A = this chain, B = another copy of it.
């Protein structure tokens, strides 16, 4: 494959640099042998790539920070990686309307900071907030730790500029607080994982800034007591701004990194935060009471932001702890909150039966966990067992009315289960919509929908 001359000066030719664009953060991602990389500098570049790709039938993989975990932005053989990471302008921030207009390469953390400077808040906060891009967040409809109170990326996107396969540019949605003129194409593009078009501008809604959060941490002798606490906290009129759960395997992994003060013998840890302006102390004290009432063994309550950070440090170290523990597949299942104990118990039962080590932790307040399945990458049989265990937990999740992906996206890793979740009739319509926007199938082919 050769890029046309007009794209050459925007392409990456150095093999070492090029290699860095090959894979995302998904487990087992492999760089293809041939691919091109174009770093877009402006809208025109995106139009040029999608015009060329459509004309030549070349696969295009839109790419942000490559922090995805589902394999949605790994380069494709013979395709073009279209990096939007260089489009980093916040072109507008309107404190009265409480909106911002941003390019797709703006980092989540940078948008948060710009909003904060105006007393506003952009809530979606994937764990990768410091380095992931808004474009990637829109592509996956990213969530994070805030969702229990604030919802997900889709809840904050009012409108988009999108380049379609073939290079046509459309605008979707609105800039105003409300608007119902025509079909909601904005919602269709949010979470479409680069399969319908390439987002080149995002109009986001901002909300008034909360207070710096105060945090409490509770240990539990049983999963069911921890689940009871989650149920009680969700029924609070002032919903916690964070409600995270770690199981015993996760706690051990974190403690192996450093001593975060988690006791070795507890079944679960819950971490809960309050950020309500003017009432963080009052709320966190009430949450602590609910944690105790649900049967917490021990509850630590932070008095200030610094202590809160300390209580969250263990949760923040979880990713490192799991990576240090070993190679693993990561799930992103979400079930109705009251099925959480059942889900975790099922995970532990699968682990005991198959011998695969499985940790169960994540956004407990949403019923959205990221179970990790550990295996020995040098041992094919071990990997196979982990894959089987992974599939078993997916089946359990679906039987509970849950979803295979709460926030990471389907990508390539979860595409095989999509039909099981959405059903044949709905899947057929989704494929038809995909074919409508991308008749030649050049946009992230093979992702989300298996060919």
Contact = CB atoms under 8 A, between A and B. Distances in A.
A406 B175 CA distance: 11
Interface in A220-246: 231, 234-239
A180 B191 contact: yes
Interface stretch (A251-259, A290-298, A425-433): A425-433
Interface residues of A, number: 85
Contacts of A170: 423, 425-426, 429
Contact of A426 (B172, B235, B409): B172
Main secondary structure, interface of A, reads loop
A190 B141 CA distance: 18
16 contacts: A119-B235, A140-B180, A143-B178, A176-B367, A176-B406, A179-B334, A180-B403, A180-B408, A181-B410, A181-B418, A181-B421, A183-B192, A185-B429, A185-B433, A237-B277, A432-B436
Contacts of A187: 154, 184, 186-188
A12 interface: no
A31 to B, nearest CB: 26
A307 B434 CA distance: 54
A277 B238 contact: yes
A378 interface: no
A36 interface: no
Contacts of A430: 182-183, 185
A171 interface: yes
A73 interface: no
A155 B155 contact: yes
A208 interface: yes
Interface string A372-415: 00000000000000000000000000000111111111100010
